[in-house]
Amino acid sequence: MNASPPATASVRHAPHTPAPSSVASAYLQIRKVTKTFGKFVALADVSLDIEPGEFICFLGPSGCGKTTLLRVIAGLEEQNTGQVIQNGVDVSRLPPSRRDFGIVFQSYALFPNLTAAQNIAYGLENEKMSRQQVQQRVQELLDLVGLPDAGPKFPAQLSGGQQQRIALARALALAPGLLLLDEPLSALDAKVRTNLRTEITALHRRIGVTTIMVTHDQEEALSMADRIVVMDQGRIVQIGTPLEIYRNPQTPFVANFVGVMNFLSGEIVAAGQRVQAAGFDLHLPHALNGAATGTPVQVAIRPEDVRLLGISNGTGDTRMARLCDVEFLGAFYRVRLELPSPTADTPPTRMLADVGAEAARVMPLVSGAEVAVQVPAELVQVFPEGGSA
């Protein structure tokens, strides 16, 4: 009996599209895309440009719209309004079979009754290629994903990481212009996931195919992407390089979702030149334009930027705090601190600080100890009070 692809199988095909326009430089343009399911708004007026050869990560919590956006790009969901333009061609209403992409799912979607080589060859066999050409292309792809001898094996004989690599090879078989990855690593254990993300990144550098990956894993996005698209409640809230997203989050939501962040309640003093928060008096390196004295704000700082025992080479303010708990995380220790309230009518402030393993060897990280804590003013982010975190 002939095998037929499951409903979620990869789409791999030769593109059936007119010649691209030379007007737009972006390879993929998403224009004001909206998608609803009943009364639920999954995507709300989403616009995005993706350049040729970029590796883009859609990052956000469950239900934020990232997978729906990927499926709209693939034609697996039809948007209510808006356009998807690929390589100068409006594919907004084209079925998946007429779009130029390969896709890899979390569940691999390999045919269990076909060998690895047969899975990879599945789409090639419809392309009027000779058997020798198919075999040559399959072996090229097996070599490309680092499994040169896996061709005769069935999926059940392969590990999860190996199955995902075969799924990746199958998606690349017809050299698509766009590669879509729908949480491809989330079903794997931590060590395999780390190794495979390194391999996927190296593979992308070699072949240069424009790639979009959906993930809710911040570490994956930070380590793999050229740019990250952070989404929340069906909208794009920030686009930037991993360093921009991590070091300069534009909203409390991004600051809190990407990595770990301390938030301290405070207020503006000296007409935007200083901020007071949790007893710290911070002289900001750049004045907050238009910020009136007394305006309530949230001051955000990463745990790795909090300095203990007064160790500093920047501008900041130092307070004493009680060390409440120490968590060993391998390369560093995460320390939970409690700062006494500067006023009698407010509770103490809790903070996290990360201490490198080398520094911890000479620093007495003992629960109950009193330590000096410094918040470097040049490393804080200041957000309006009441912004969603």
- pLDDT of the chain along its 389 residues, tens only? 333 333 333 333 333 333 344 345 899 999 999 999 999 999 999 999 999 999 999 999 999 999 999 999 999 999 999 999 999 999 999 999 999 999 999 888 899 999 999 999 998 988 888 999 999 999 999 999 999 999 999 999 999 999 999 999 999 999 999 999 999 998 888 889 999 999 999 999 999 999 999 999 999 999 999 999 999 999 999 999 999 999 999 999 999 999 999 999 999 987 768 899 998 999 887 777 667 888 899 999 999 999 987 444 445 678 899 999 999 998 999 999 999 887 777 889 999 999 998 888 888 788 888 889 999 999 999 998 876 55
**CB distance 55 to 201 below 8 Å:** yes
For residue 243, how many C-alpha atoms fall within 13 Å in the half-sphere facing its CB? 0
**CB distance 348 to 341 below 8 Å:** yes
Q: Where are the beta strands (DSSP E) in the chain?
A: 28-37, 40-50, 55-59, 81-86, 89-90, 102-105, 178-182, 210-215, 227-232, 235-240, 262-269, 274-277, 280-283, 296-301, 307-308, 316-328, 332-339, 349-356, 370-376, 381-384
Count Cβ neighbours within 10 Å for each residue of 312-347 and write b for 16 or more, e otherwise.
eeeebbbbebbbeeeeeeeebbbbbbebeeeeeeee
CATH class of 260-384: mainly beta
Pairing of strands 81-86, 227-232: unpaired
What are the φ/ψ torsions at residue 285 (nearest 5 degrees)? -70, -25
Q: How far apart are CA 10 and CA 6, in angstroms?
A: 9
Sign of CA dihedral 298, 302, 305, 309: positive
For residue 152, the one-letter residue type is P
Q: How far apart are CA 324 and CA 336, in angstroms?
A: 5
Let me know how many helices (H) and strands (E) the chain has, helices first: 9, 20
**CB distance 60 to 67 below 8 Å:** no
Residue the block writes with tokens 């956006």: 69
Q: Name the CATH architecture for the domain at 28-252.
A: 3-Layer(aba) Sandwich (3.40)
Rounded to two decimals, what is the model's pTM? 0.88
Q: How far apart are CA 87 and CA 177, in angstroms?
A: 9
pLDDT at 6: 36
Q: Where are the domains of the chain?
A: 28-252, 260-384
pLDDT at 388: 59
CB atoms within 10 A of CB 95: 11
Residue the block writes with tokens 């000096």: 372
Residue the block writes with tokens 């809230």: 237
Sequence-distant (≥ 6) Cβ neighbours of residue 123 within 8 angstroms: 10, 12, 13, 170, 173, 174
239, 225, 245: which is closest to 53 by C-alpha? 225
Q: What is the DSSP letter of 1?
A: -
184, 12, 193, 6: which is closest to 112 by C-alpha? 6
For residue 345, how many C-alpha atoms fall within 13 Å in the half-sphere facing its CB? 0
pLDDT at 59: 98
End-to-end CA distance of the chain: give it in Å, rounded: 54
Which pair of tokens denotes residue 16? 């059936």
